[in-house]
Structure 1
Amino acid sequence: MTSLAVTMKGQVTLKRDLLQHLGIKPGERIDFDKLPGGELRVKAARPTGTIDNFIGRHAGKVKKPLTIEEMNEIAASGWAGDE
């Protein structure tokens, strides 16, 4: 078990090995869940995207609209790992 010191401001700095274990990189966020008995659950905050972010990220990259059949083929190959 790792123990950390609390600063006068009430802050704690997580050590690099703990951050690596969580898969946290600089600039990313961490979620804390309060559990009974004064315990905390710490986990990497995984951002949830919106459809607007998705559309904005891919805007202008598709030359022509895809048919439903083409979309189904792409989705099927992605699930099969044929990327």
Structure 2
Amino acid sequence: MRVELTVTAKGQITLRQAVLDHLGIKPGDHVDVELLPDGRVELRPAGTRPKLARLRGMLRRPGQTAVTLQEMQEAIEQGRGGSDEG
């Protein structure tokens, strides 16, 4: 769905009812606005951003053992010892 909105002289816009319905926003609700680097904006109902804790375990694969921070650090340090060709 594409909706065109008009900007007022005060630099404000009014969201059409179809947009509010699509977002599930009701009078008195708050809206999060994220300014994206490519000049776009993203609107969403406030409080609906994914929690960082929900990402825990996302990259886990069956049968793969967890790597400790110490093991990660050692792997990084070993990588520095490689040749600097290129």
Structure 1 length normalisation: TM-score?
A: 0.53
Query: Counterparts in 2 of 1:18-57, with a 5 A limit?
Result: 18-46=19-47
Paired residues, number: 47
Structure 2 length normalisation: TM-score?
A: 0.52
Query: Counterparts in 2 of 1:1-83, with a 5 A limit?
Result: 1-46=2-47
Aligned-residue identity in percent: 45
- Structure 1 CA distance, aligned partners of 2:9 and 2:30? 22
- Structure 2 CA distance, aligned partners of 1:26 and 1:33? 20
- Structure 1 CA distance, aligned partners of 2:40 and 2:25? 21
Displacement over 2 Å in runs of 4+: none
C-alpha RMSD over aligned residues: 1.3
Q: Structure 2 counterpart of 1:14, which letter?
A: L
Q: Structure 2 counterpart of 1:22, which letter?
A: L
Max radius of gyration: which structure?
2
